């Protein structure tokens, strides 16, 4: 027999997303697994024992968790659960009791095993109902921000954005768009459309710098210029200095040229000026 396809014609016609391809028992198991992982990662690891975890979900302290309490918890933890899936979860973890009062509620032990089904943690407290749980005598003040902290949601978490994934740790494949790994040629052919890192990208076009708005680009900043041109540039932008000070900075900037030419770029002279000003401030 042929293996059934992951999606059918109905999924294509209705434009269903990949998370809606599962149907029947597969969808039930997938949703239950997703609910288990969300609840466990969100709150369960923050408790020292199972009693504290159960007391957190048991809002009215009656020893059981009903459907309304579980729905509120899922909403606060940003776990979208449909009513049908919530009913399946309740039927999966519901207490096997003849008591009609607790027949639609989740038992403590079953819910604890549902949260931590792989690594069984030792229970540090016996099963107790809400009437038997000790009430702390220490008075506490619950601020308004503490009540609303679980209601906080970000737009990236709602749409499922991948902002938390650091792509720099993954191995890169193929040829990069910006060829910063090779040196750009001095004379480029007309047919050479390779970006060697000296051109602006999409981010630079959307958010241009203050230099690019004036028509000044990186090649203009790093172009070697004579002494008179450098003096004219810094004088026009409002940098006032004596001739002796300019000659001293010019000699320091020439030492940074590996070719030993009598030319200095604007960026090199600016970095020397910043170093001299920083030294005078710290001294």
The CATH number of the domain holding residue 69 is: 1.10.238.10
Between 133 and 276, whose confidence is greater? 276
Considering 68-72, 80-84, 148-152, 193-197, the range whose residues carry the highest mean pLDDT is 193-197
* Residue 178: strand pairing partners: 195
Asked whether the predicted pLDDT for residue 12 surpasses 80, the reply is no
- The mean predicted confidence, pLDDT, of the chain is 70
Output the 3-class SS for 187-230.
CCCCCCCCECCCCCCHHHHHCCCHHHHCCCCHHHHCCEECHHHH
Indicate if the pLDDT at residue 219 is higher than 60: yes
- Report whether pLDDT(60) > 50: yes
Question: Is residue 165 domain-resident?
Answer: no
Query: Is residue 156 in a domain?
Result: no
Give me the number of domains the chain comprises: 3
The span from the CA of 221 to the CA of 212, in Å, is: 11
Same domain, 269 and 189: no
Average pLDDT of the segment spanning 134-153: 54
Residue 214 inside a domain? The answer is no
Q: Measure the CA–CA gap between 6 and 21, rounded to whole angstroms.
A: 7
Residue 129 maps to a domain: yes
**% residues pLDDT > 70 (the chain):** 48
Kindly report, residue by residue over 80-98, the tens digit of the pLDDT. Answer: 677 777 777 777 666 444 4
Q: Looking at the DSSP assignment, which residues form a beta bridge with residue 195?
A: 178
Mean pLDDT of 97-124: 56
Domain residues for the domain of 22 are 9-134
Q: Are residues 105 and 195 in the same domain?
A: no
**End residue of a domain, out of 161, 183, 208:** 208
> d(Cα 62, Cα 213) in Å, to the nearest integer?
66
Question: In the prediction, which pLDDT does 77 show?
Answer: 61
Q: What is the reported pLDDT for 246?
A: 92
Claim to verify: residue 32 and residue 61 sit in the same structural domain: yes
Predicted local confidence at residue 17, as pLDDT? 67
Please determine, for residue 264, whether its predicted confidence score (pLDDT) is greater than 60: yes
CB neighbour list of residue 157: distance below 8 Å, 6 or more residues apart: 78
Section 69-88 average pLDDT: 71
Give, for 264, the enclosing helix (H) or strand (E).
Answer: strand 264-265
Instruction: Please give the pLDDT value at position 250.
Output: 92
- Assess whether 180 and 260 both reside in one domain: no
Q: Give Cα 97 distance to the centre of its chain.
A: 44
Long-range contacts (CB closer than 8 Å, 24 or more residues apart) made by 104-109: 104/66, 104/67, 105/64, 105/65, 105/66, 106/64, 106/65, 106/66, 106/70, 107/64, 108/50, 108/54, 108/58, 108/63, 108/64
Higher pLDDT, 172 or 103: 172
Residue 29 confidence (pLDDT) above 80? no
């Amino acid at each position: 027999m042929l293996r059934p396809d992951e999606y059918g014609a109905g999924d294509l016609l209705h434009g269903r997303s990949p998370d809606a391809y599962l149907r029947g028992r597969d969808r039930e198991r997938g949703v239950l697994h997703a609910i288990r992982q969300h609840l466990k990662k969100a709150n369960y690891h923050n408790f020292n024992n199972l009693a504290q975890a159960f007391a957190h979900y048991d809002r009215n302290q009656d020893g059981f968790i009903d459907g309304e309490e579980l729905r509120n918890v899922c909403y606060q933890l940003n776990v979208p659960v449909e009513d049908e899936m919530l009913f399946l979860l309740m039927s999966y973890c519901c207490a096997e009791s003849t008591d009609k009062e607790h027949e639609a509620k989740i038992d403590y032990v079953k819910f604890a095993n549902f949260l931590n089904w792989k690594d069984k943690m030792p229970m540090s407290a016996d099963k107790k109902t809400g009437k038997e749980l000790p009430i702390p005598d220490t008075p506490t003040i619950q601020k308004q921000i503490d009540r609303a902290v679980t209601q906080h949601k970000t737009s990236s978490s709602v749409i499922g954005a991948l902002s938390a994934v650091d792509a720099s740790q993954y191995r890169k494949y193929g040829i990069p768009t910006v060829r910063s790994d090779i040196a750009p040629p001095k004379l480029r052919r007309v047919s050479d459309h390779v970006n060697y890192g000296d051109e602006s990208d999409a981010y630079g076009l959307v958010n241009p710098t203050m230099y690019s708005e004036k028509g000044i680009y990186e090649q203009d900043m790093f172009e070697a210029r004579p002494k008179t041109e450098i003096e004219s540039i810094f004088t026009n932008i409002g940098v006032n200095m004596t001739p002796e000070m300019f000659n001293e900075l010019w000699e320091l900037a020439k030492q940074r040229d590996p070719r030993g030419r009598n030319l200095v770029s604007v960026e090199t002279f600016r970095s020397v000026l910043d170093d001299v000003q920083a030294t005078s401030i710290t001294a």
